[in-house]
Structure 1
Amino acid sequence: MGAYENGVNKANNAHKQGQTPDYNKMTPQERDAAKAQMDKLQGKK
């Protein structure tokens, strides 16, 4: 899997647990993907 999928997966897993992903432990690409995914999960456009 690529960085994008990793970031999305980390966001999904954190969201399921009611948490925020640990962006500090991610690569820049993962962080961008995770932030975008969290926005989607939280209903932001």
Structure 2
Amino acid sequence: MAAQTIHRARSNSFPLPSRPNPLVSEIEEHLNRLRDFKAMSTSSPISHK
């Protein structure tokens, strides 16, 4: 009988940074501004004369 080999996979998880990346905060801020802009543009129609 052939011997069976068991392969166990390990995950390559990266440690969380102790302080948040400033670039992530900047991107989140821009996304929030875009969401606010979208909410304003869909809730109040602008009429062009």
**TM-score band (shorter)?**
0.3 to 0.5
- The alignment's TM-score, normalised by the length of structure 2, stands at 0.34
- The alignment's TM-score, normalised by the length of structure 1, stands at 0.37
